[in-house]
Structure 1
Amino acid sequence: MASACTLQWVPDSLYNTAVSAIVASYPRGRRDLKVLPENVQFDIYYRLYSKGRLCQLGMEFSDLDTFAKVLKVNDKRHLLHHCFQALMDHGLRASGILADSFAVRLSETITKDQFTKIRYLQLGFNLGGFLSDAGWFVDSERVYNACLELCHSEVDTGSLCRALECRIRLLHVQNANCKCKEADQTCKEAFRLTEVLAENGISVCKATLYTECCALRFAESQYDEAYKYCSMALHEIQPSLPHKALVDVLRQCSKACVVKRQFQKADLLIKHAVAFAKEHFGSHHPKYSDVLMDYGFYLLNIDSIAASVFVYQIALDIRQSVFGGNNLYVAIANEDLAYASYVEQYSSGKFKKAQDHAERAIEILGHILPPDHLLLSSSKRVKALILEEIAIDSHDKEMEERLLQEAQDLHLQSLELAKKAFGENNVQTAKHYGNLGRLYQSMQRYKEAEEMHLKAIEIKERLLGPDDYEVALSVGHLASLYNYDMKKYHEAEQLYLRSIDIGQKLFGEGYSGLEYDYRGLLRLYINLEKQDMATHYSNILHEWNQIRNSHNAEDVKPLEFDTSVSMIDIIERHF
């Protein structure tokens, strides 16, 4: 028995010793590596990374043929992400070099035979997909655009199908990179291709296309359109749909349901996505972290704040482990965790954790994005919200003024980026007006604060209807301004009551946001010397505290849930 155990152990040891020996004499034998199997080559390259020999690794990974081979080693993709990110952090623009090499190679392929074209298209899909998964969207887009040129050199149905797949992949990258105008055009071209294929008698599954259209309309705050595409995507689900695509359908559709306040539907979809991703990808895979990010979004929007923070932290830990360094996905996870932590600690005033994550997000994005990129808008907004609260709690007047001024600069930058991307008539723009309204109240610029809140309310009501959560937020903020600073008590009272009504309808009696409305009304009635009403809301606030304390006492176990209801039943019953 001991002998058998030894024999099982020796080959692994010999293999590792051989890999180490090759790495030790790497300059002499690097040319001979090309004949080795892809997985062996990858192990050697990864050992170069682990030994800190990034210049040698960069030379290898800058070669398109070499990188094409390591892309075939699917079971070690997370390790490839980690060493690729290290090269990018080291200053080698490997993503750009590979994209350039691929574009040149493809331009030389247009005159080649069909088999060669298809082979290079598959390489383009693999390379573009890897760069997209790693967060290097600009270079991924260049790869897919090069693929499209090759697709357009043929007019047969096979080329049309490949062109459609390329359009959908391109749409995903443009969505992720906040290029809404380009994505809209890509979306139209993709639908045109489906019509041409249909005319030729070829039916294609549109689940992924509808999902990307949903993501585009969601980013543009066109929530009715997003929800429409979400329903269409769910009805296109087929058993042959790849696991990754199915996860993306479920999680994006869940987000569309959240913003339409269809929380039961969102709950069913996102929990199925979490369970499915964990089963098929494992709990340390980037795709699992993607699902957790959207699950955190759902939890935050249903007022399960502690659970949201818990889930966002796991998602960040996974992304940090897989990518590390100045990676866009790590930055986004930091930003979302910063905002959830800010909401969680709003009453306590302990914003250190939230501030650290917000600043880390901006630091990373500043390394990899141009200063006018829309993704920076959201991170700057989160940091500005945190700075404002820190300033208010500060007992140093000079520090307070400095922090408020910094918050104003960040909010104004975010507003301009949103207006440039979406225009004035958009929910995102309205949110920035509301944030400025709160800030101007803190800066004692009350007339400007009122103007900003009224703008936010008008836009949100027109786009979302009078009873939406976002409207309630802005209404409550305007009520606070009227009550605490402008002494417009009658107007404040009506606004508070309206905010409370919306909050209770959406989230129930224990909704966390009710605290500020109840406290505002209590103060208002004391100032108006309406003792009966003051006593009434004092009792309501006490009851609310009891409900919240019971909620807070519950163990936070958001990843323990039942998904026994099948996806088919969910779609048939709810969509």
Structure 2
Amino acid sequence: MSFNMASACALEWVPDSLYNTAVSAIVSSYYRYKRDVKALPENVQFDIYYKLYNKGQLCQLGMDFSDLDTFSKVLKIIDKRHLLHHSFQALMDHCVRLSDILADAFTVQLMPSTCPDTVSRDRAIQFGLSLGGFLSDAGWFYASEKVFKGCLLLCQMDDVTSSLLKALDCSVRLLHVQNANCRYKEAEVTRSVACQCLEVLHERNVPVNTSAFHTECCTLLFAESLYDEAIKYCSKAVKELSASLPHKVIQSRCWCFLQQTLLSSTNILIRISFLKQQLKVKISAGQLIVCINDRSMFGGQHPKYSDALLDYGFYLLNVDSITAAVQVYQMALDIRQSVFGGNNLYVAIAHEDLAYASYVQEYSSGNFKNARDHADKAIEILGHILPQEHLLLSSSKRVKALILEEIAIDSHDKEEENRMLLESQDLHLQSLALAKAAFGENNVQTAKHYGNLGRLYQSMRRYNEAQEMHLKAIEIKERLLGTDDYEVALSVGHLASLYNYDMRKYDEAEKLYLRSIAIGKKLFGEGYSGLEYDYRGLLRLYRTTDNHSMADMYANILQQWNQIRDSNNAKEVRPLDFQVFDNLQDLVQDCVAKMG
């Protein structure tokens, strides 16, 4: 018996490869071989550095990665980029501000004495684009912005056409980072720089593919709530990308970059389609987002795949497939945690999205523990890496404020209820102030913050203030989105609830409920989840005013609604049952055309 067990153990043991044994031997005596490592091939160097990370030798790894020449070599190993993200994040968590160290070292390298000629400048620009791109992909936007600004300065030292093309490329990448980091005022300046480059290139009759530039303009305009202008730039991006590309280009490696540009435009298009409530577009958007989620484009554990999943989760949440949305958001979070881990901005954003989706899912049950945990985690991570006044941090605080309000309402402890409501108010006011500073009054995000405060003040029994906030939200949303928009319906429904339950303005409440119901049914159909609150509100209103016939009618309507919802919920949800489309551009162009 013991012989058989020994035999089984012998069969299970597999010796390590000679290569791995050699790498481990170098790492175990690293100080002896450190100088020799730099002479090894780049892929071997990478494996040694990653082994240092695995062995917990972060101080040594931090010193090596702080050297620009060393880091330039590991950046060349594209197929192991997720491993580089792992080790880089570990150093950042270990209080080695590697992103700033590399960005500062790069800007020092750009002194005129170190880049006296075109060849040295081109070499520095090429490395800067690689370094800035990695820092952007890893979520270290301030450092990435510094690197791209340095590259742009180098490009502007020459007035030749090739330098102008590089300057355009740098400014577009810089614009992307500033958009992602919510630095919209700086983004407007960068956008002007890119426009100047384009004007000169057009004067010189130099053909330029402007798809990436138009995509970033679309992103900026979307943030500023200029949706019609954003759609125009989205259309330009798609047409430019697919207009005259030869088949060989599509098959080449650069097609991956072009696809990413297209997907960025598409994801903004999907968000605009919901804000503008274009039903035909939403149908195409549903097909489109499924196409985006085809893993073959990036691979199942690629950060870009998680980006697509977050946009797909947004789509599902907005078509009332809430359970499926939570599943997709969880998948995105799992991928980002596996790629980055630690106190990473992209991980925090995924936590925030999952927190909000979980909050919506559990709105009826009142079980907000999971939602609160994700909101707290998002705030904890962002608090480590962002200034307290950053717009991304305010977004997570807004989600936590919504969750705290619901927990407070269900609390049986008055002291605890008041404490959580005051904390929620503080978070909402911070978020509103930051939104107004970033966007001004005339913005959908600002309107949402007013609406959130309106609901909170209702919970705090400050009814006149609640009414003021809801009316502000409705006015802004109607001006930007029209009178029959989903966002308008939400605010109208909230004001109806205030009038019905607390201010006894029953005639006004009835009109508002009916308006909210009409918009909800038109956009989402008879089984839309938001209808429940309006139906219950009307039922309560009619019973309070002794309108028994109308109360009976809405009791029946609510019962029918419950049957529809039960039927919808009983259907198996398969959010990632993919359908692959051969021509992504055609589908996007169809979407854009339907936006009109």
TM-score if structure 2 supplies the norm length? 0.93
Cα displacement string for residues 342-395 of structure 1 (whole angstroms, at most 9, x for unaligned residues): 001100001000000000000000000011011111101000000000000111
State the one-letter code of the partner of 1:334.
H
CA gap 1:33/1:565 in 2 versus in 1, 3 angstroms: closer
CA distance in 2: counterparts of 1:573 and 1:36, whole angstroms? 51
Question: What displacement does 1:425 show?
Answer: 1.7
Question: What displacement does 1:324 show?
Answer: 0.5
CA contact (8 A) 2:145 2:174 kept: yes
SS at match of 1:236: helix
CA contact (8 A) 2:218 2:265 kept: no
CA gap 1:408/1:516 in 2 versus in 1, 3 angstroms: same
Cα displacement string for residues 285-339 of structure 1 (whole angstroms, at most 9, x for unaligned residues): 0010011111111111111111111110000000001000000000000000000
State the partner residue of 1:447: 464
State the partner residue of 1:303: 320
SS at match of 2:293: helix
State the partner residue of 1:3: none
Cα displacement string for residues 153-206 of structure 1 (whole angstroms, at most 9, x for unaligned residues): 000000000000000000000000000011112112212211211111111111
Q: 1:26 aligns with which of 24, 30, 34?
A: 30
SS at match of 1:485: helix
Question: What displacement does 1:113 show?
Answer: 2.5
Q: Percent identity?
A: 67
State the partner residue of 1:402: 419
CA distance in 1: counterparts of 2:530 and 2:215, whole angstroms? 32
Task: Determine whether 1:530 maps to 2:534.
Answer: no
Q: Give the 5 Å matches for 1:301-380.
A: 301-380=318-397
SS at match of 2:38: helix
State the one-letter code of the partner of 1:19.
V
Q: 2:195 aligns with which of 184, 191, 210?
A: 191
Q: Give the 5 Å matches for 1:93-172.
A: 93-108=97-112, 111-172=115-176
Q: 1:208 aligns with which of 193, 212, 230?
A: 212
Question: What displacement does 1:20 show?
Answer: 0.3
State the partner residue of 1:261: 277
CA contact (8 A) 1:109 1:116 kept: no
Question: What displacement does 1:214 show?
Answer: 1.1
State the partner residue of 2:252: none
State the one-letter code of the partner of 1:237.
L
Question: What displacement does 1:564 show?
Answer: 3.6
State the partner residue of 2:183: 179
CA contact (8 A) 1:210 1:229 kept: yes
Q: Which runs of 5+ in 1 are unaligned?
A: 1-5
CA contact (8 A) 2:238 2:589 kept: no
State the partner residue of 1:544: 561
Q: Give the 5 Å matches for 1:214-293.
A: 214-238=218-242, 239=245, 240=249, 241=255, 242=257, 243-262=259-278, 263-275=282-294, 278-293=295-310
CA contact (8 A) 1:81 1:134 kept: yes
Using CA pairs under 8 Å that are at least 6 residues apart, name the structure with larger relative contact order, 1 or 2.
Answer: 2
Cα displacement string for residues 234-265 of structure 1 (whole angstroms, at most 9, x for unaligned residues): 11123444243333233233223332223123
Question: What displacement does 1:568 show?
Answer: 4.2
Q: 1:79 aligns with which of 76, 83, 103?
A: 83
CA distance in 2: counterparts of 1:161 and 1:128, whole angstroms? 17
State the one-letter code of the partner of 1:379.
S
Cα displacement string for residues 57-112 of structure 1 (whole angstroms, at most 9, x for unaligned residues): 00001000000000000000000001100000100000000001111112246643
Q: Which runs of 5+ in 2 are unaligned?
A: 1-10, 250-254
Count of aligned pairs between the two proteins: 565
Question: What displacement does 1:565 show?
Answer: 6.2
SS at match of 1:35: coil
CA distance in 1: counterparts of 2:63 and 2:581, whole angstroms? 50
State the one-letter code of the partner of 2:277.
R
State the partner residue of 1:502: 519
State the one-letter code of the partner of 1:260.
K
CA distance in 1: counterparts of 2:352 and 2:378, whole angstroms? 5
Q: Give the 5 Å matches for 1:513-524.
A: 513-524=530-541
CA contact (8 A) 1:510 1:547 kept: yes
Q: Does 229-238 or 285-294 show the bigger shift?
A: 229-238
CA gap 1:565/1:495 in 2 versus in 1, 3 angstroms: farther
CA gap 1:111/1:561 in 2 versus in 1, 3 angstroms: closer
CA contact (8 A) 1:434 1:456 kept: yes
CA contact (8 A) 1:309 1:341 kept: yes
CA contact (8 A) 1:440 1:446 kept: yes
CA contact (8 A) 2:455 2:466 kept: yes
Question: What displacement does 1:274 show?
Answer: 1.4
Question: What displacement does 1:143 show?
Answer: 0.2
Question: Moved runs in structure 1, 4+ residues, more than 3 A?
Answer: 108-111, 238-241, 571-574
CA distance in 1: counterparts of 2:400 and 2:176, whole angstroms? 28
CA contact (8 A) 1:258 1:266 kept: no
CA distance in 1: counterparts of 2:207 and 2:114, whole angstroms? 27
CA distance in 2: counterparts of 1:249 and 1:458, whole angstroms? 29
SS at match of 1:170: helix
State the partner residue of 1:436: 453
State the one-letter code of the partner of 1:331.
A
